[in-house]
């Protein structure tokens, strides 16, 4: 397809970059023999099981199974798409990403890039207007009334959307269709367009790479929050109409169900995040940052989704939800709990913190300061406590009927938890509360039976010569340079032979490829997953013996091919259907076998 990144460039890129440098810049690695180790960045662990091989240009975690090349690591760690990861690696290596058929980029990618540029320029415009527009005084007073410093306002790039219906089309000089695609304007019934954001304080929303993907706009008039402003009355009188907060719509680059306001700033402010706090509004994030609480994010006018949580757990092992203590806050907390069930396994922790009556995060941190607010975070309710306390409040635990009702309510929820230790422990706790035998409850909830101590499964025996040959090539791809029997696999019928032959053909053309680069050729395919499994276990042969071992395996495969050929010819001979060429081939095969046995 025109515009695709050529495979030869991927090969060159993975040859130019060192996976150890790529990962060590994000996760502190320690030398351990020929490899490097660390605690896995993709799940919570105390004993390092994450290994990086400079020789293979491949990483693997023995704990959670994460693995891949430098491209795969960036995709997982930075939450990038394949093209984005390639572009980031290429930029660090000083390479320009080429495109097939002379295209600078696929049209869809180019279109998205245009949207990022437009949104970034719009953010610059709004920020400039907060400083310069005559009517920005109301917005400035509001922000000062909330206690925000100029430094924090600048860090979060707060801005002001001035009055007017077509400011952006004049300033940005873009076609209305592109402004509409970026979510910056709204289409009129008559076909015209007008600015979506007017007379609002603007909060740019940045994605994981720091690109502006959308905005949240807070109205200056209306709502109790503005009462602390010195110019509140004027703001209410002159402020724009509409909801207190207005967000960008869904666009090709902005998806509310996956983006989190403040995550980009939190990762910049705290090098090693251990916990992220989820609050309900933009101003909560900015106000808490003003008081030194820098690990805070907010959803964008939606409930916390499973995708939000997956993104959060890629960054930290612990998430704390901070909600109002009223009925609405507790309902929102329960929705978050239900959405967390499919992603909550051992090593991931969720807590719930409920604010005192009449308080929001801003007012509470003003009263208690950073230390007081963080003490409340430390004392937040664990997931299991909140889960069982909430369900238990609705039943009478003193009666059999009440306990049965508790089990009925909890059972479908526990079934949504991933299989594993945490699900087992939750089921055990339910059995204790319901005064029910744990084995009987396991049948009801689908939880595993009481478990013995976990054992690490034994490595595969690796007796198949085809698997052996593949593992040797993954260990040292350059072994193909000494391959003498180029047709050794021709006609051989064994599982895995087509993949082995494809690897040999690839490496004969590009013998410089690393293990990680080989895997990239089969990304997203079943063959790639099979290769990754084989790459994870070391070959039990010293370096100096790899060439001999590979030659022996290929010779063995060639012998198996000859045996299969002879068997086929003998079977056809018994049926009397051999061609003259096959008769000659059979004669040669029998002679070779007889000579081999002499």
Phi/psi region, residue 115 (left: phi>0; alpha: psi -120 to 50; beta: rest), is: alpha
* Interval 406-417 mean pLDDT: 91
How confident is the model at residue 238, as a pLDDT? Answer: 38
Residues 1, 500 contacting (CB under 8 angstroms):
no
Longest dimension (CA), the chain: 108
Provide the pLDDT for residue 446: 54
CA–CA separation, 553 and 557 (whole Å)? 6
State the DSSP code for 527: H
Q: Give the count of alpha carbons within 13 A of 52, CB side only.
A: 24
Mean pLDDT, the chain, whole residue set: 84
Q: What is the pLDDT of residue 178?
A: 93
Residues 538 and 472: their CA atoms lie apart, in Å, by: 9
Average pLDDT over residues 501-519: 89
User: Residue 575, Cα to own-chain centre: how many angstroms?
Assistant: 60
pLDDT tens digits along 187-236: 998 888 999 999 999 999 998 778 899 999 999 765 433 333 333 333 33
Residue 540 DSSP SS3: coil
Q: Could you identify the residue written with the tokens 């939450």?
A: 79
Contact call for residues 22 and 70 (beta carbons, < 8 A): yes
Query: How much of the chain exceeds pLDDT 90, in percent?
Result: 41
pLDDT for res 232:
35
What span, in angstroms and rounded, lies between the C-alpha atoms of 499 and 2? 27
CA distance 279 to 277: 6
| Residue 177 token pair | 């269709």
Give the pLDDT confidence of 321-371 residue by residue, as tens digits.
999 988 889 999 999 999 999 888 777 899 999 999 989 999 999 999 999
Question: What residues pair up with 214 in beta bridges, in sequence order?
Answer: 205
Q: Give the relative orientation of helices 383-393 and 421-434 as an angle to the nearest 10 degrees.
A: 30
State the pLDDT confidence band at 423, using cuts at 50, 70 and 90. Answer: confident
Matching residue, tokens 């600048």: 154
CA dist 12 → 57, 70, 517, 520, 522 (Å):
13, 13, 9, 12, 16
Instruction: Check whether 457 has a pLDDT greater than 60.
Output: no
pLDDT at 442: 65
Secondary element (H or E) of residue 557: helix 546-575
- Give the model's pLDDT for residue 144: 92
**Do 352 and 320 contact (CB within 8 A), yes or no?**
yes
Question: What are the E-state strand segments in 44-192?
Answer: 50-53, 58-61, 67-68, 159-161, 185-187
Per-residue pLDDT at 230: 33
27-34: Cβ within 8 A, 24+ apart: 27/77
Write out pLDDT tens, residues 117-151.
999 999 999 999 999 999 999 999 999 988 899 99
pLDDT at 265 > cutoff 80: yes
CB-CB contact of 560 with 543 (8 Å): no
Cβ neighbours of residue 527 closer than 8 Å, sequence gap 6 or more: 499, 502
Residues 6+ apart with CB under 8 A from 317: 43, 44, 274, 275, 347, 348, 349
> What are the structural domains, with CATH classification, of the chain?
7-102 (3.90.580.10), 106-248 (3.90.980.10), 255-390 (3.40.1360.10), 394-445 (1.20.50), 465-597 (1.10.860.10)
Average pLDDT of span 252-261: 91
The answer to whether residue 597 scores a pLDDT higher than 60 is: no
Per-residue pLDDT at 306: 86
CA 307, 312, 314 angle in degrees (round to 5)? 100
**Top-confidence residue, 595 or 357:** 357
**CA–CA separation, 139 vs 201, rounded Å?**
6
The Cα 323–Cα 588 span in angstroms is 82
pLDDT at 111 over 70: no
Distance of alpha carbon 371 from alpha carbon 291, whole angstroms: 10
């Amino acid at each position: 397809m025109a515009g695709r990144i050529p495979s030869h460039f991927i090969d060159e890129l993975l040859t130019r970059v060192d996976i150890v440098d790529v990962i060590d810049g994000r996760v502190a690695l320690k030398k351990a023999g020929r490899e490097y180790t660390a605690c896995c960045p993709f799940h919570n662990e105390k004993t390092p099981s994450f290994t990086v091989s400079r020789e293979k240009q491949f990483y693997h975690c023995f704990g959670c199974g994460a693995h891949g090349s430098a491209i795969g690591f960036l995709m997982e760690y930075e939450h990038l798409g394949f093209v984005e990861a390639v572009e980031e690696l290429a930029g660090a290596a000083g390479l320009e990403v080429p495109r097939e058929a002379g295209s600078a980029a696929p049209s869809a990618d180019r279109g998205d890039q245009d949207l990022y540029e437009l949104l970034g320029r719009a953010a610059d415009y709004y920020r400039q207007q907060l400083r310069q527009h005559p009517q920005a005084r109301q917005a400035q007073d509001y922000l000062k009334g909330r206690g925000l410093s100029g430094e924090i306002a600048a860090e979060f790039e707060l801005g002001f959307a001035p009055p007017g219906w077509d400011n952006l089309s004049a300033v940005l000089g873009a076609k209305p269709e592109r402004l509409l695609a970026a979510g910056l304007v709204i289409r009129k019934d008559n076909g015209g367009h007008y600015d979506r954001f007017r007379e609002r304080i603007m909060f740019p929303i940045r994605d994981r790479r720091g690109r502006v993907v959308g905005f949240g706009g807070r109205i200056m008039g209306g709502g109790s929050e503005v009462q602390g402003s010195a110019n509140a009355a004027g703001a209410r009188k002159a402020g724009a109409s509409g909801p207190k907060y207005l967000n960008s719509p869904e666009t090709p680059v902005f998806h509310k169900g996956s983006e989190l306001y403040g995550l980009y700033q939190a990762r910049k402010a705290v090098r090693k995040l251990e916990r992220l706090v989820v609050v309900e509004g933009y101003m909560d994030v900015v106000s808490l940052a003003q008081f030194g609480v820098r690990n805070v994010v907010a959803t964008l006018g939606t409930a916390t989704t499973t995708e939000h949580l997956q993104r959060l757990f890629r960054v930290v092992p612990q998430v704390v939800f901070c909600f109002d203590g009223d009925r609405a806050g507790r309902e929102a907390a329960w929705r978050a709990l239900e959405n967390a069930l499919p992603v909550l396994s051992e090593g991931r922790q969720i807590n719930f913190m409920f604010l005192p009556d009449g308080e929001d995060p801003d007012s509470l941190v003003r009263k208690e300061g950073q230390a007081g607010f963080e003490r409340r975070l430390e004392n937040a309710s664990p997931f299991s406590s909140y889960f069982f306390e909430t369900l238990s409040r609705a039943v009478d635990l003193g009666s059999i009927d009440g306990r049965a009702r508790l089990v009925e309510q909890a059972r479908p929820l526990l079934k949504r938890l991933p299989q594993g230790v945490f699900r087992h422990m939750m089921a055990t706790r339910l059995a204790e509360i319901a005064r029910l035998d744990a084995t009987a409850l396991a049948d009801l909830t689908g939880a595993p039976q009481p478990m013995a101590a976990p054992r690490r499964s034994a490595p595969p025996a690796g007796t198949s010569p085809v698997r052996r040959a593949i593992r040797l090539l993954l260990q040292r791809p350059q072994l193909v340079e000494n391959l003498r029997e180029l047709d050794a696999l021709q006609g051989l019928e064994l599982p895995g032979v087509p993949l082995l032959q494809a690897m040999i053909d690839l490496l004969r053309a590009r013998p410089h490829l690393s293990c990680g680069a080989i895997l990239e050729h089969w990304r997203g395919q079943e063959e790639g997953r099979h290769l990754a499994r084989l790459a994870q276990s070391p070959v039990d042969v010293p370096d100096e013996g790899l060439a001999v071992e590979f030659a022996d395996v290929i010779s063995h495969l060639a012998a198996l091919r000859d045996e299969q050929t002879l068997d086929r010819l003998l079977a056809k001979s018994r049926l009397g259907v051999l061609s003259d060429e096959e008769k000659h081939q059979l004669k040669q095969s029998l002679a070779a076998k007889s000579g081999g046995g002499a």
